[in-house]
Amino acid sequence: MARVRNLKEILVRLKGLSQLMVDLGYAALIEDDFELAQEAIRVKAEIRELSYELRKEALLVARYTKDSRHDIPQIASLLQIGVAIKEMSDGVDDLLEVVIRNVGVHPIIRMAYTRKELRTMRFVVEEGSLLDGKKLEEVEIDLKTGFRVVAIRRKEEWILDPHGKTRIKGGDVLIVEGRDISIRKMQEHVKGPKEKAQEKNSK
Amino acid sequence: MARVRNLKEILVRLKGLSQLMVDLGYAALIEDDFELAQEAIRVKAEIRELSYELRKEALLVARYTKDSRHDIPQIASLLQIGVAIKEMSDGVDDLLEVVIRNVGVHPIIRMAYTRKELRTMRFVVEEGSLLDGKKLEEVEIDLKTGFRVVAIRRKEEWILDPHGKTRIKGGDVLIVEGRDISIRKMQEHVKGPKEKAQEKNSK
């Protein structure tokens, strides 16, 4: 039973991670942003690890299953999901190449994508900033403010689909999707007191 | 200039189509739904066609560009996007295999994904139904009702990111994402008067 629970959790997480990686890949390309590309590569590392776990667990289910041989094609379908996610993440890798080789994104790419109102960006929450220690719902990160936190990276751990009760901490990396204007406002909220003070002085 | 506009439109559409295909692929798997898999395959056909257009247009840009040879790596990056999207869509194809081979989705897949509140489903809008001829905003398809129309297929044309002013027509196929309860309510709205009458009579 523990094995089944384990497989279930691996599948849920792999689905979330692969969708996040596709979004990050496009965002890295559109923003021509090396940091966003790095985040996508981090997601990829976890996908690779979990795909391996998926294969192992699927084989164990195949070994210990008490049911008929009819189950074998079904268990093969579990392995198939691993293959699929690997291939999708390879595709995103090809997108990232464009950013990482640092040849400069072609102006047409820029033209094609920048008219879109929605942007995906990456913010580091500084300690002592407005967001540090607050729940997502407290800082009104909802549709009223025009943006949505898609994922949070806390050190090497990804929090997928964060909800209102999720508390933000200093040092968190937020992946945010939203309207261009809201995103620029957001840049204020993640700044720590030190950087804010420096800005005041420089005025 | 027409060429550049063309390339731009191809890129925007390829991005939208590839994200739609990933979503449809997972939805087909989660719902073990052959129809959803067919929709994903339709998206794939357009991706293939547009990828070819992208390559052609990129080569033409390379031929006619008046700038320095420095531009060549940038134009290569346009081709790279085509490769990336192809690879992502191959990945989704592997997911679809599970549904199309019709071996039955493994119970663990079902367990893994059905606890999630959000579902993606496909609805055919019948002629004379509540939705027929209405704008999206008129039928309050927004977050208040708990669902969102991700895409509309009208015959062989995909409308990506439909907005409030988009008018729904009888025969349209809606790809809808939303809460389980809202999705079930939705099933009422797409039914034509004939089917509704039959239901009444059978009561």
Whether A109 sits inside 8 A of B81 (CB atoms) is yes
pLDDT at B198: 61
**Chain A residues inside the 8 Å CB shell of B75:** 106
Average pLDDT over residues A164-186: 85
pLDDT above 80: residue A197: no
Residue B4 CA to chain centroid, in angstroms? 25
Distance from CA of A12 to the nearest CA of B (A): 6
Average pLDDT over residues B5-11: 85
From the list A158, A169, A82, the residue with the least C-alpha distance to B91 is A82
Mean per-residue pLDDT over chain A, rounded: 83
- Residue with the larger pLDDT of the pair B105 and B165: B165
Q: What is the largest CA-CA distance in chain B?
A: 75
pLDDT above 70: residue B132: yes
Which 3 state secondary structure label does DSSP give A137?
A: coil
Q: Which of A174-188, B74-88, B183-197 has the lowest mean pLDDT?
A: B183-197
pLDDT above 80: residue A40: yes
What percentage of chain B reaches a pLDDT higher than 90?
Answer: 39
pLDDT at A145: 62
Instruction: Select from B11, B104, B143 the Cβ nearest to the Cβ of A109.
Output: B11
Whether B19 sits inside 8 A of A22 (CB atoms) is yes
pLDDT above 90: residue A108: no
Instruction: Select from A4, A73, A112 the Cβ nearest to the Cβ of B8.
Output: A112
Structure tokens belonging to residue A181 = 């204007």
Whether A78 sits inside 8 A of B106 (CB atoms) is yes
C-alpha neighbours within 13 Å on the C-beta side of residue B45: 9
**Chain B residues inside the 8 Å CB shell of A9:** 112
Amino acid in position A11: L
Residue for token pair 């420096």:
A198
pLDDT above 60: residue B144: no
**Chain B residues inside the 8 Å CB shell of A73:** 101, 103-104
pLDDT at B201: 55
pLDDT at A203: 46
Average pLDDT over residues A108-124: 78
Average pLDDT over residues A147-155: 88
pLDDT bracket for residue A161 (50, 70, 90): confident
pLDDT above 90: residue B172: yes
> Which 3-state string (H, E, C) describes chain B?
CHHHHHHHHHHHHHHHHHHHHHHHHHHHHHHCCHHHHHHHHHHHHHHHHHHHHHHHHHHHHHHHCCCCCCHHHHHHHHHHHHHHHHHHHHHHHHHHHHHHCCCCCCHHHHHHHHCCCEEEEEEECCCCCCCCCCECCCCCCCHHHCEEEEEEEECCEEEECCCCCCECCCCCEEEEEEEHHHHHHHHHHCCCHHHHHHHHHHC
Which 3 state secondary structure label does DSSP give A105?
A: coil
pLDDT above 80: residue A66: no
Structure tokens belonging to residue B56 = 């052609």
Structure tokens belonging to residue A189 = 């909220």
pLDDT at A143: 46
Q: Which of A48-57, A71-80, B49-58, B104-113 has the lowest mean pLDDT?
A: B104-113
Helix (H) or strand (E) holding A166: none
Whether B74 sits inside 8 A of A104 (CB atoms) is yes
| Domains of chain B (ranges, CATH numbers) | 2-107 (1.20.58.220), 117-202 (3.30.70.1450)
pLDDT at A183: 75
Structure tokens belonging to residue B52 = 């070819």
Residue of B nearest to A88 (CA): B88
Average pLDDT over residues B105-120: 76
What percentage of chain A reaches a pLDDT higher than 90?
Answer: 39
pLDDT at A167: 93
pLDDT at A111: 79
pLDDT in tens, B45-99: 999 999 999 999 988 888 877 666 668 888 888 899 999 999 999 999 999 998 9
**Chain B residues inside the 8 Å CB shell of A29:** 81
Distance from CA of A163 to the nearest CA of B (A): 13
Whether B81 sits inside 8 A of A98 (CB atoms) is yes
Whether B26 sits inside 8 A of A12 (CB atoms) is no
pLDDT at A2: 60
Structure tokens belonging to residue B98 = 């599970």
Distance from CA of B148 to the nearest CA of A (A): 14
Whether B112 sits inside 8 A of A8 (CB atoms) is yes
Instruction: Select from B88, B109, B111 the Cβ nearest to the Cβ of A92.
Output: B88
Residue of B nearest to A86 (CA): B91
- Residue with the larger pLDDT of the pair B115 and A77: A77
**Chain A residues inside the 8 Å CB shell of B87:** 87-88, 90-91, 94
Best interface-test mutation with B: which of A3, A26, A106, A109 has the largest number of B CBs within 10 A?
A106
pLDDT above 90: residue A38: yes
Contact partners, residue A166, CB within 8 Å, separation at least 6: A135, A136, A149, A152, A159
Task: Report yes or no: B160 and B196 within 8 Å, Cβ to Cβ.
Answer: no
Mean per-residue pLDDT over chain B, rounded: 83
Average pLDDT over residues A111-137: 83
Distances (CA, A) of A135 to A146, A165, A177, A190, A200: 17, 5, 18, 14, 27
Whether B18 sits inside 8 A of A15 (CB atoms) is no
Average pLDDT over residues A67-88: 84
